[in-house]
């Protein structure tokens, strides 16, 4: 009986390698923050690019093994900080796109104020290779008289005709063509 009383009076100690209650609570809080940040970042990415399946943020560090591991509190904080930085970059990119869209509207409203300014579809957060450029109407005459317009060009290279593609192929020794 004496032995059991002594065991009950001493505080239980955790075995080495087992986290204390404070560390477990901190890990749980950090994992909750990381989960919320990953969810909101993936939703924002899916809304902006519904057909893009590329990874949003790559959290792998160069030189580390790709195997399951238990992260320390510092590692969890680093992942959280990386996700917060990705959120900030996404917000900054959204603000830049909004400014560029407003600039495009200004360019359309008053082209003379935005001479030779150029915006691409990438600047506007759109797919493709379209470009908006303020140019003088009728070349030099428009430049001298102040006639300006916003010209929309596709900017994409044209596909070569089949005859040009075939002529560019080299012949193999012996007369047969490569296919």
Tens digits of residue pLDDT in 17-38: 555 788 889 889 999 998 999 8
Contacts of 141 (CB under 8 A, 6+ apart): 147
Q: Is 144 inside a domain boundary?
A: yes
Asked whether residue 25 is domain-assigned, the answer is yes
Question: How far is residue 70's CA from residue 31's CA, in Å, rounded to a whole number?
Answer: 12
Rounded CA-CA distance 124/132 in Å is 10
Same domain, 154 and 127: yes
The C-alpha atoms of residue 166 and residue 179 are separated, in whole angstroms, by 10
- Per the domain annotation, does 99 fall within a domain? yes
Per the CB < 8 A criterion, the answer to whether 69 and 85 are in contact is no
Range(s) of the domain holding residue 129? 111-159
What are the tens digits of pLDDT across the range 107-160? 999 999 998 999 998 888 887 888 999 989 888 888 788 888 888 887 676 676
With 0.75 as the threshold, say if the pTM is over it. no
């Amino acid at each position: 009986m004496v032995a059991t009383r002594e065991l009950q009076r001493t505080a239980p100690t955790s075995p080495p390698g087992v986290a204390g209650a404070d560390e477990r609570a901190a890990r749980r809080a950090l994992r909750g923050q990381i989960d919320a940040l990953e969810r909101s970042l993936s939703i924002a990415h899916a809304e902006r690019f519904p057909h893009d399946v590329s990874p949003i943020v790559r959290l792998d560090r160069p030189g580390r093994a790709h195997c399951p591991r238990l992260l320390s509190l510092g590692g969890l904080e680093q992942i959280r900080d990386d996700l917060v930085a990705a959120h900030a970059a996404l917000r900054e990119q959204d603000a830049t796109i909004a400014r560029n869209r407003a600039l495009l509207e200004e360019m359309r409203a008053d082209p003379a104020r935005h001479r030779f300014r150029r915006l691409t579809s990438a600047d506007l957060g759109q797919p493709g290779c379209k470009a908006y450029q303020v140019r003088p109407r009728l070349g030099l005459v428009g430049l001298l008289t102040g006639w300006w317009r916003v010209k929309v060009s596709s900017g994409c290279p044209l596909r070569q005709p089949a005859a040009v593609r075939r002529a560019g192929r080299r012949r193999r020794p012996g007369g047969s063509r490569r296919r």
